Structure 1
C-alpha cells in the first residue's frame, strides 16, 4: 500500500506550515526511509519519508521508527548536508509521485539543496540534489534502467505517467479519513493505518517463525511413525525365525557343515511335510540354531519398545497439531507462551545465527544456549575458557553453576540486575552443567549455584579452579529430553568438540580439593 498522487498532494499542503523549521536530526530507518527532526516557530515535528516498496509515503509521525543495528551508508552524508539547514518549503514535482523538500544553507556549506523523494513504489528512491542539479547522495543504488542517477551525475526527473502529471491528483476519495483535533489530521490517519499494517505484518512474521519449526517437527514425527510401523511389521517374520529354530533344534544332526539349507520334516495338523530351512554355510549347526533364536528374541523384545515409542510419537504429533492450530489463531501476547510450549516439544525456532567471525578473530570462550523461557546460558569451552567466562564475561548478578565436586564446565546464566532466574532456566542451566562435566550420563547429581560475584579465583591456582560462597545445592534428576532440546538449539557453531572441563572441581571456600 503506497500513497497516491492526490494523497501526497494533500499531505504536502498539510505540512506547508513547517517551512522555516531547522533540521535537528536525520536518521535512516531502512535503506530508502528516513525521518527529519524539525524545530521551528510552528513547533517541533517529525517528518517521515519512505520510498520502501509497498510502504512509499510522506507524512508527519508521532514517534520515530526503530533504528537498525548497523547504520546505512547514506546516513552520514545526509546528516552532514542537512542537519542545521532550514526547510524552505515542500512541493510536488511534475512526474509520478515526486516530492521535493528545499533546504537553505549558508554559502560556506554549499548553498541550497533539495531532497527529492521519488515515492513510486518498487523503483522509489531518495536523492540529495545541489543547486546545480547534481546528485550529491542517494539513499540506495539506482533502480531505473532509463535514467542515469549515479552520484555526481545530473538529476533527471521521472517521465510523466500516461494521461499527464498525477492523473489521480484531483479525483477519487481519500483512503485515510483525517483525525479530528490532531495537529496534522491527514498525517495522523496515515500513520495509524501504517502502524496497524506494520503490526499485522510483524504478527504474521512472528506466527511464521513459530509455525515453520512446528511443521518440520510434524514431518519428523510422521517419518518416525513410518519407521516404527516398518519395525512393527517385522514381528510376524520373527515367528518364522522361531519356527526355523525349533525345526533345527529337533533335526540338528541332519545339518551338515558347509550346507546352505537343510530339508527337515515338520509335523502339522494336516500331517507331516518337508520344509527347507536356510542355514549359513560358514557357521556350525549349533551357531545357526542360536542365530535364529537370537534374531527372534531381538525382534520380539523390541516390539514392546516400538509400540511404546509409537504411542509417544503419536501423542507428540497430536500435541504439535493442536499447537499449530493455536499459533494460526494467536495474538501477539500469546506467542511467547506458545514458543515455550513449542520448545517443550523440541519444536522451537532456532535462534538467529551470530555474525560470522573474521578468520583472525578468536572464538569466544563459551558456547551459547537458550533456556526454555529464552534466557541466555553460556558454557565454558575448557579450563582456561572457564576462567575467562567466569572472571571477565560474567556480570556480578549473573547466575553461576557447576557440577558439585566434579570436574566440569562453568555455566553462566545472563540475568538483569535484581532479577532471579525462572524455574525452567535454572533447571536447563543445571542440566548443561551436568552434561558438560564428569557427571554426564548419570541419572542424578548435585549442582551448586550462586551469583557470579561470589565466585573467586585463588592466586596461583590452576586454570579453571575457583572458590565460591553463598551457594545453594540442588539434587538434579537428569531428563534426557531436556538435554537433547538444549543441544539441538545451540547458537552459533553446532556440534560438540569435547567436554569443556576445568582440571579440578570448583569448591566452596575452605573445602578440600578431591
Structure 2
C-alpha cells in the first residue's frame, strides 16, 4: 500500500510546523527509505520518507525504524550534507507524488527530492545548481538520466494528474501533534507487525515441521529394527543345532543337515554356514547375531517411546507457533532450539575469494544436532583445535586414516544414542575403513584431544576415550549424506 498524491499533499499541509526545525540526525533504514530527526519550536519529530515499492509514503513516525545490519552509503552522504541544516520548506508537487524538502545551511541551500512513485520511486540529494549530488538507489527511469553529476529532471506528470481518491483511507487521530501522520503511522505499523508475525511464524514453523518429519522417519527405521527381533529366534535355533552337531560340520561346506527333535518328533533341518569359518566360529556367529538383536530390542523400545514423546512435544510447539503473537516468537524460538528444532542462523556475509572456507562439512542428526566432518588433514586440525568446544564430542575411526568428526553439544546436555551412532557412521564413512562391514570408532570430549607439537597435519593424541564397535548401517549413511547442509552439499 502506498500513499496517493492527494494523501501526500494532505500530509505535507500538516507538516508546516516542522519548517525551521534543525536536522539532528539522518538514518537510512532501507535502500530507499530514511528518517530525519528534527528539533524545532514544537519539540522533536521524526519524519519518514520512503520510496520503497508498495511502501511509498511520507509522514511523522512515533518509533525509530530498525537499523540495517550494514549502513547504506547514502546515509553517510546525507549526514555530511544535512545534519545541522535547517528545514526551510516542504512542498508537494501538485497532482504528483513528488515531495521536495529544502534546507538552509552554511554551505548553501540544498534539496532532498523524494519521488514517492511506487515501483520506480527514489530519493535524490540535489544541489542549489540543480545537479544531483547522490541518490538512495540506482536510476530506475528509462527516460531520464538520474545519476550523480547530471541535472535533476523531474518526472512528467500524466495527463490530468492523479484522480482524486473516492474515499478517505485514514482517519486523523484527534489530539496528536500530526493527526493524519499518526493515523498513517498506526496503519503501517499494524501492517508491519502482521508481516513480521507471518515471517516469524514461517521461520520457526519450517524447521519444526522438518524435525517432525525426521522423527517420523526414525520411527519407521525403529519399527524395521523391531521387526527383526522375532527372526532372531531362528539364529538362536541354528546356533543350538550347530552346538549339538559340531562333529557333523565339514570345513568348507556351505550347509549342514542335522536332526532337530520337536514335539512332533525328529526332523531333518538344513543350517547355512560360512565355508570360510570353522564350525565353532559359525556357531558363535549365530549366537552373536542373536544376542545383538535381542539386546537391541530394549534399546529400540526405549528409543521408540522417546521419539514418540518428541513428536508430541514438537506438534504442541507447532500449534503454539501457528497461534503466536509477535511478542511470543522469541520465547518459542528458544523452546524450538532446546528441542533441536530451531531455525538455522542467518547466512553469513558472502565469503571473499581470499577468505578460507569452512574446514568442515555439516550434517544433521535425527535429533537435530549439528555433526561437523573435517574435509582433510589440515582441515581436521582446524576443526578440532579451533572450532570444537571443550564439551563437544570428538570421534575418529580407530586405527584408520580419516576425518575428525565433532558433535555440537549444548552445555549440560549429553548426546542421545542415535546422534552418537550417526556421528560414528560418518567417522567410518569418511575414513579408510569405508566399505568395511564393521568399524571401531573412538570417541571422547574435544577437551581431551591434543595436537602434539610438530605432529603431521591431522595427527592428534586423545585420552579418556570409549570405543563403539560399529556394524555399518547403509541406510543410516544414505540418510545422513542426503541431508548434508551448506555449500558442499550443493
Q: Normalization by structure 2: what TM-score?
A: 0.68
Q: Which range is displaced more, 256-265 or 185-194? A: 256-265
* 1:269-280 pair list within 5 angstroms: 273-280=267-274
Rounded Cα–Cα distance in structure 2 between residues aligned with 1:321 and 1:254? 58
**Alignment match, 2:101:** 101
Change beyond 3 A, Cα 1:160–1:255: farther
- Counterpart-to-counterpart distance in 1, 2:392 and 2:414: 13
In structure 2, list runs of 5 or more residues that go unmatched: 357-384, 394-410, 420-443, 451-490
> How many pairs does the alignment contain?
382
Contact 1:74 1:138 in 2 (8 A): yes
Spell out, residue by residue over 1:164-222, the C-alpha distance to the aligned partner (whole angstroms, 9 max, x if none).
Answer: 4223xx23212110001212110011111122222333333333343333223212211
Range with bigger deviation, 65-74 or 188-197: 65-74
In 2, distance between residues paired with 1:482 and 1:293? Answer: 28
Q: 1:96 touches 1:159 (CA, 8 Å); kept in 2?
A: no
Residue 118 of structure 1 corresponds to which residue in structure 2? 115
Cross-structure match for 1:466: none
Q: Which residue of 1 aligns with 2:322?
A: 328
Quick check: 2:6–2:165 contact (8 Å CA) kept in 1?
yes
SS of alignment partner, residue 90 of structure 1: strand
C-alpha distance after superposition, 1:452-498 (max 9, x if no partner): xxxxxxxxxxxxxxxxxxxxxxxxx965259999xxxxxxxxxx994
CA distance in 2, matches of 1:294, 1:128: 81
SS at match of 2:447: coil
Corresponding residue of 1:394: none
Residue 11 of structure 2 corresponds to residue 11 of structure 1: yes
User: For residues 334 and 478 of structure 1, do their structure 2 counterparts lie closer, same or farther at Cα, with a shift above 3 Å needed?
Assistant: closer
1:436 touches 1:500 (CA, 8 Å); kept in 2?
A: no
**Alignment deviations for residues 9-49 of structure 1 (CA, whole Å, 9 cap, x no partner):** 21122223433334333222222211123334455432110
Decide whether the 8 Å contact of 1:95 with 1:157 is kept in 2: no
- Cα gap change, 1:43/1:316 in structure 2, threshold over 3 Å: closer, same or farther? closer
In structure 1, distance between residues paired with 2:78 and 2:174: 34
Q: Which residue of 2 aligns with 1:204?
A: 198
The equivalences for 1:118-197 within 5 A come to 118-161=115-158, 164-167=160-163, 170-197=164-191
Out of 452, 477, 480, the position equivalent to 2:414 is: 480
Question: Distance between the aligned counterparts of 2:269 and 2:392, measured in 1?
Answer: 57
Match of 2:282 among 279, 288, 291: 288
Distance 2:353 2:185 in 1: 45
1:356 to partner: Cα distance: 8.2
C-alpha distance in structure 2 between counterparts of 1:264 and 1:153, whole Å: 101
> Residues 301-312 of structure 1 correspond to what in structure 2 (within 5 A)?
301-312=295-306
- Give the TM-score of the pair, scaled to structure 1: 0.65
Residues of 2 paired with 1:137 and 1:321: CA distance? 52
Q: Secondary structure at the match of 2:126?
A: strand
Give the drift of 1:58: 0.2
Structure 1 unpaired stretches of 5+: 363-408, 410-431, 438-476, 486-495, 503-514
Alignment of 1:218-367 (within 5 A): 218-268=212-262, 273-352=267-346
**In angstroms, what is the RMSD of aligned CA positions?**
3.7
Rounded Cα–Cα distance in structure 2 between residues aligned with 1:483 and 1:249? 34
Deviation at 1:69, TM superposition (A): 4.4
Aligned partners of 1:36 and 1:351: how far apart in 2? 32
Matched, 1:23 2:23: yes
Contact 1:87–1:101 under 8 Å retained in 2: yes
Give the Å deviation of 1:257. 0.6
**Which residue number corresponds to residue 47 of structure 1?**
47
Cα distance, 1:347 vs structure 2: 2.5
Aligned to 2:78: 78
**Structure 2 contact 6–95 (Cα < 8 Å) conserved:** no
What's the offset of the Cα at 1:267?
4.7
Following TM superposition, by how much is the alpha carbon of 1:336 offset from its aligned partner in structure 2, in angstroms?
Answer: 4.1
CA 113–346 in structure 1, closer or farther in 2 if over 3 Å, else same: same
Q: Aligned with 1:290: secondary structure?
A: helix
Relative to 1, partners in 2 of residues 1:484 and 1:333: Cα closer, same or farther, differing over 3 Å?
farther
Tell me how far apart the structure 2 counterparts of residues 37 and 286 of structure 1 sit (CA, whole Å): 89
- What is residue 380 of structure 1 aligned with on the other side? none
Q: Distance in 2 between matches of 1:243 and 1:229?
A: 24
C-alpha change, 1:268 and 1:149, in structure 2 (3 Å) is farther
Maintained 8 Å contact 2:243/2:283: yes
Q: 1:213 aligns with which of 207, 210, 220?
A: 207
1:499 and 2:447 equivalent?
yes
Q: Distance in 2 between matches of 1:344 and 1:187?
A: 43
CA 1:501 to 1:230, structure 2 compared with 1: closer, same or farther past 3 Å?
closer
Q: CA deviation at 1:59?
A: 0.6
> Structure 1 pair 483/309, CA: closer, same or farther in 2 (3 Å)?
closer
1:112 shift after superposition: 3.1
Task: State the alpha-carbon separation in 2 of the partners of residues 159 and 50 from structure 1.
Answer: 20
